[in-house]
Amino acid sequence: MGKAERSKTAREKIREQQAAERAREQRKKVVTYVTAGAVAIAAIGAGMWYTMSRSQSEQAGADLAPVTIQADGSVIMAKDGVTKPVVDIYEDFQCPACKELERVSGQTFKNLAAEGLAKVVYHPITIFGQEPTKGNSVRAGAAARCVPDGKQWVAFHDLLFENQPSETVEGFKTDQLIEWGKEAGVTDPGFETCVTSQKHAQAQLDYSDKINKRENLEGTPTVKVDGQMIDNSVVFTPKDLRDTVTEAAK
């Protein structure tokens, strides 16, 4: 082997080593990148899982507890003889956060009442002062007051939240309300004229006014357990809501 040849192989060797070194670096870089990416995605996934599991609605349990419509328009849902704890729900059919409350925790209220763990009282009120939201809310609230039967009332209440209109348009129109009433099982012959004439619009406004003053509401939805306002983070977490109510029952 000549001198030139030897030095050539040495050079080649160095070059090979450098190439191998570069390849190693590259591999290391890929591994680091993939690891960091996987950790970031896992963090997002874990956060999502936690949030969604905490916001998971309860399954529908037994039949509804007996529902009684009060003269003032509030509605009591409780098993016979259950008088406490009292869970007061102040909500507006047009309020988006109330729709979300019903979506997430509506079933929990029903289950708690059905299990005899609480006396649930719905207070449909109107909190909006501007059109079109005020008119929408009053029409819906007045229509709910036309429903004569408790079970039908709860079904109608659920349908109203499911079909809540945008806050920018006129919604909850009387013909829609009549349609949803029928869907909720209302057969009362007076229902249609009651809704169309908005017979109870003033009662809805008066009741809202009275409740607003009496309860010092900061907004809707507001949920009180035995008169104590419950924080929204609890109200929107079915498990925590259930725990709070069962704790109050003791």
Partner 1 sequence: MNASQASHTARSAIPWVTTVARLVLGGVLIAAGGLKIGNPADSVVAVRAYELLPEPLVTTVGYALPIVEVVVGVLLIVGLMTRVAAVVAALLMLAFVFGIAWAWANGLRIDCGCFGGGGQLGAGQEPTYLLDIVRDFGLVLLGAWVVRFPPGRFALDRPLGLAGAEHPLDDEENSDGQG
Which residues in this chain contact partner 1 in the complex, by CB under 8 A? 25, 28-29, 32-33, 36-37, 40, 43-44, 47-48, 51-52, 54-55, 96-97, 99-101, 104, 129, 166-168, 232-233, 236
Instruction: Find the shortest distance in angstroms from Cβ 44 to partner 1.
Output: 5
Query: Distance from first CA to last CA of the chain, Å, rounded?
Result: 97
Instruction: Find the shortest distance in angstroms from Cβ 6 to partner 1.
Output: 33
What CA–CA distance (Å, rounded) separates 56 from 103? Answer: 10
Q: 129 or 227, CB closer to partner 1?
A: 129
Q: 41 or 62, CB closer to partner 1?
A: 41
Helices (H), 122-200: 133-144, 150-162, 174-183, 191-196
Instruction: Find the shortest distance in angstroms from Cβ 51 to partner 1.
Output: 5
CA distances from 142 to 89, 100, 103, 206 (A): 18, 22, 22, 11
194 DSSP β-pair partners? none
CA angle 221, 166, 205 (to 5 degrees): 50
Q: 174 or 232, CB closer to partner 1?
A: 232
Instruction: Find the shortest distance in angstroms from Cβ 146 to partner 1.
Output: 28
Instruction: Find the shortest distance in angstroms from Cβ 180 to partner 1.
Output: 18
- Cβ proximity of 223 and 88 under 8 Å: yes
Q: 74 or 237, CB closer to partner 1?
A: 237
For the chain, how big is the Rg over CA atoms in Å?
A: 30
Q: 37 or 61, CB closer to partner 1?
A: 37
Q: 14 or 30, CB closer to partner 1?
A: 30
Q: List all residues 6 or more positions away from 211 whose beta carbon is below 8 Å from its beta carbon.
A: 90, 123, 125, 217
> Two tokens at 124?
């449909």
Of 156, 124, 122, 159, the C-alpha closest to 141 is: 124
What CA–CA distance (Å, rounded) separates 120 from 145? Answer: 18
Place of tokens 């419509």: 69
Instruction: Find the shortest distance in angstroms from Cβ 72 to partner 1.
Output: 26
What CA–CA distance (Å, rounded) separates 212 from 13? Answer: 86
Instruction: Find the shortest distance in angstroms from Cβ 225 to partner 1.
Output: 18
Q: 63 or 131, CB closer to partner 1?
A: 131
